[in-house]
Copies of this chain bind each other. A is one copy, B any other.
Amino acid sequence: MIRFTNDYSEGCHPSILEALAATNTEGNPGYSMDPHSAHAHELIRAAIGRPDADVHLLVGGTQTNATAIAAFLRPYEAVIAAVSGHICVHETGAIEATGHKCIACPAENGKLTPAAVRAACAAHTDEHMVRPRMIYVSQTTEIGTLYTLAELEALRAVCDELGLYFYLDGARLSSGLAAGGPSLTDLGRLCDAFYIGGTKNGALFGEALVILNPALKPDFRYNIKQRGGMLAKGWLLGVQFEQLFQGNRYVELAAHANALALKLKEGIAALGYTFLCDSVTNQQFPILPDGVVAALGQDFGFEFNCKPDAAHTCIRLVTSWATPEENVDAFLKALAALTK
């Protein structure tokens, strides 16, 4: 079975395993108060170009989103997201469990638009409704699309206009960076807070939350602890991000994933198939005849996305830093054989 199921099926980049072994018996203070974490924070601040940023390393994405959103909002405040947004669908109500409503908006190509944000705010007029106070976007989106710099700038402008925080979920930010999307420096300038995903780009686990708005910084570690996210051996996160931000590795790992995804895309398109959307990142959503999908399922792992019509199925193919090129070749060969 060759897996294109997701980008978290393998462990970590070899450099991280080596670093974990090398530091295993160092003896480090607990709870992220160690020098590796401090160094990782420095590397991230430098990459963002914001020496004033607060950086917190957490274990997973849902944990990071729920901790941050619950920390940033007052009880009656709500977060605006695309209806397909991860917090709206795939976090088992983690945000609501902290007391906050997610306002789901129509999405275009998986993206939240200034018009949708404005409409959501206009519909919430007084104290009988929640108060929209934050927008949530994912880069890349759930369907692999990419916000352009102009799009993020337009969202920033609408946030400024309407008094909203701008929060970006970067679980797959690496793929967006490698695809030529807005840079870490852009995000450091535009967001109130965002996170840089490690789990899906070479780490065993780990997401780096970056808080830029000074109003959102105080006491954040209390929130991490209260929400169960403070890792006892916090230096494990520091060691991993030290490796990911060694040179340009963070982007290079994602560039490998993207290149293979584009090879898949081009090969599938060359066979005459279409896609759910035009993705330039490591998730591709081809639309294939049901019989082809069933046959492919014998040898390849992938997720079902949707049924665009009675005879076709849209599947999700995901590549990662660890995907071998021969897996892509094998898939395209198999698809070509089924297409003949």
A residues near B (Cβ < 8 Å) are 3, 5-6, 8-12, 14, 17, 20-21, 23-31, 59-64, 66-67, 70-71, 74-76, 78, 89-94, 96-102, 104, 127-131, 199-200, 204-205, 219, 221-233, 236, 322
Contact = CB atoms under 8 A, between A and B. Distances in A.
Copies held by the complex: 4
A222 B90 contact: no
A11 B20 contact: yes
A311 to B, nearest CB: 20
A230 B67 CA distance: 14
B11 A25 contact: yes
Nearest to A123: B89
20 contacts: A8-B30, A8-B232, A11-B20, A17-B20, A25-B322, A60-B230, A62-B225, A76-B225, A78-B93, A89-B129, A90-B128, A91-B226, A92-B226, A93-B99, A94-B226, A94-B228, A96-B130, A101-B102, A131-B222, A204-B233
A144 B335 CA distance: 55
Nearest to A99: B97
Contacts of A24: 10-12, 14, 17
Contacts of A74: 71, 219
A96 B78 CA distance: 10
A226 B127 CA distance: 9
A28 B12 contact: no
Given A228-B63, A231-B205, A127 B221 contact: yes
A241 to B, nearest CB: 15
A76 B223 contact: yes
A30 B74 CA distance: 25
Contacts of A67: 228
B90 A129 contact: yes
Q: Most chain-B CB neighbours within 10 Å: which of A64, A219, A221, A226?
A: A226
Contacts of A76: 92-93, 97, 219, 222-223, 225-226
Given A9-B29, A62-B228, 12 more contacts: A8-B233, A9-B27, A21-B21, A59-B231, A60-B230, A60-B232, A75-B223, A92-B127, A93-B101, A96-B130, A127-B230, A130-B222
A126 to B, nearest CB: 9
B104 A104 contact: yes
A108 B281 CA distance: 39
Q: Most chain-B CB neighbours within 10 Å: which of A100, A200, A230?
A: A230
A94 B127 CA distance: 12
A129 B93 CA distance: 7
Contacts of A91: 128, 225-226
Given A70-B75, A204-B233, A59 B59 contact: yes
